[in-house]
Amino acid sequence: MPDHVHGFAVHGMPKVVPGDDLAGQIWACITAGSAGVNTLRSGDVVVVTSKIVSKAEGRHPAAADRSAAIDAETVRLVAARGDTRIVETRHGFVLAAAGVDNSNVESGLVLLLPIDPDESARQIRRELRRLSGADVAVLVTDTAGRPWRNGLVDLAIGAAGLEVLIDCRSRVDAYGNELSLTITAAADEIAAFAELIAGKTAQIPVVVVRGLHHLVTLDDGPVPPRWSDRRTRTCSGWARMRRSNSGGPARPTAPTAR
Residues 6+ apart with CB under 8 A from 109: 60, 61, 62, 63, 102
Amino acid occupying residue 100: V
Determine the pLDDT at residue 235: 57
Decide if 6-50+116-241 and 60-112 have a common fold. Answer: no
Give the separation between CA 58 and CA 42, rounded to whole angstroms. 30
The residues, any chain, with a CB within 8 Å of residue 195's CB and separated by 6 or more, are 141, 143, 153, 154
Q: Distance between CA 123 and CA 121 in Å, rounded?
A: 6
Check: CB of residue 111 under 8 Å from CB of residue 69: no
Closest CA to 13 of 160, 233, 206, 214: 206
Strand positions, DSSP E, 168-230: 183-184, 206-210
**Predicted local distance difference test score (pLDDT) of residue 252:** 56
How high is the pLDDT of residue 206?
A: 96
pLDDT at residue 230 in the model: 39
Q: Which residue ranges of the chain lie beneath pLDDT 70?
A: 34-35, 223-258
Which pLDDT score is estimated for 246? Answer: 36
C-alpha angle 112/114/116, rounded to 5°? Answer: 145
Query: For residue 31, what pLDDT is reported?
Result: 93
The domains of the chain are located at 6-50+116-241, 60-112
Q: Which of 220, 209, 207, 206 is nearest to 249 (CA)?
A: 220
Burial pattern 90-104, b for ≥16 Cβ within 10 A else e, equals bbbbbbbbbbbbbee
CATH superfamily of 60-112: CofE-like domain (3.90.1660.10)
Q: Is 255 exposed, middle or buried (0-12, 13-18, 19+ CB in 10 A)?
A: middle
pLDDT score recorded for residue 241: 42
Count of alpha carbons within 13 angstroms of residue 212, beta-carbon side:
28
Q: What is the pLDDT of residue 210?
A: 96
Q: Specify the CATH class of 6-50+116-241 in words.
A: alpha beta
Find the distance separating the first CA and the last CA of the chain, reported in whole Å: 14
Distance CA 58, CA 112 (A): 9
